[in-house]
Amino acid sequence: MNAPQMRKFMQEEVGLWSPDVFRLDIISAGNSLVCAAYNIFKTRQFSCLFKISPPTFINFILAIQNRYRSTNPYHNHIHAADVLLTTDTLLKAKPLEVTIILLCMYAIPLQIKLQSV
């Protein structure tokens, strides 16, 4: 794991709508889900809130990450890290921004369906 690159990634990409999770997986030596989850755990102070020690949390997330089948090209630990980081970004967003995002999520499929009629 490359600690300086990891810190830089967490500072620059976490909070963006589309962080480069493939790069995260490379610099974390295949531990993108663990790194993403631990970053959220630390920044949201879940250790104090839920009285969970960092080693216990890391072992739990590592067990989850290890259960993903690496042969699946889409539903794998990298996708899980992407969903986790995006969900965290969504939860931090302003209410109006969330409303607009949700409207767009529903409007695009509807627009595609209407265009195909």
Q: Which listed residue (72, 75, 103, 111) is catalytic?
A: 75
Cα dist from 86 to 25, 61, 83, whole Å: 16, 17, 5
Alpha-carbon gap, residue 82 to 71, rounded angstroms: 17
Alpha-carbon gap, residue 26 to 20, rounded angstroms: 10
Q: Is 79 an annotated catalytic residue? A: no
16 three-class SS? strand
Alpha-carbon gap, residue 29 to 23, rounded angstroms: 10
Are the CB atoms for 31 and 65 separated by under 8 Å? yes
Catalytic residues: 75
